[in-house]
């Protein structure tokens, strides 16, 4: 069972390598962000499989931290992408 879990983790990391190509050569910033989210999700999955295969529970903490950072990254991307459009209008000068 351990070799199957390690093989599955390796397969997930191999598919994440394809996501790196999209990050480097993505036509738009949204495509690159989606590929980064794929890398984060694949990294979490690979770490969880590795934690079960090696019976190391501390790797689960690293996976949870990576998932949290991925959520913050997507929130920062959305805030940054819509930041220029959602600025409040300035008050007119009162002279």
Q: What is the pLDDT of residues 41-75, one digit of tens each?
A: 999 999 999 999 999 999 999 999 999 988 888 88
Domain spans of the chain, in order of start: 2-82
- Confidence at residue 7, expressed as pLDDT on a 0 to 100 scale: 92
User: pLDDT digits over 79-92, tens only?
Assistant: 887 765 555 555 56
Q: Name residue, tokens 């993505």.
A: 26
* Cβ 2 vs Cβ 53: under 8 Å: yes
Closest CA to 34 of 75, 81, 74, 65: 74
pTM metric for this prediction: 0.73
pLDDT digits (tens, 9 = 90+) for 23-39: 787 788 777 788 888 88
């Amino acid at each position: 069972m351990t070799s199957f879990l390690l093989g599955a983790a390796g397969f997930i990391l191999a598919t994440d390598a394809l996501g790196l190509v999209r990050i480097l050569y993505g036509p738009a910033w949204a495509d690159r962000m989606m590929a980064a989210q794929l890398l984060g999700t694949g990294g979490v999955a690979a770490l969880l499989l590795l934690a079960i295969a090696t019976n190391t529970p501390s790797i689960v903490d690293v996976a949870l931290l990576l998932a949290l950072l991925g959520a913050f990254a997507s929130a920062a991307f959305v805030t940054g992408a819509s930041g220029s459009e959602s600025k409040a209008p300035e008050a007119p000068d009162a002279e």
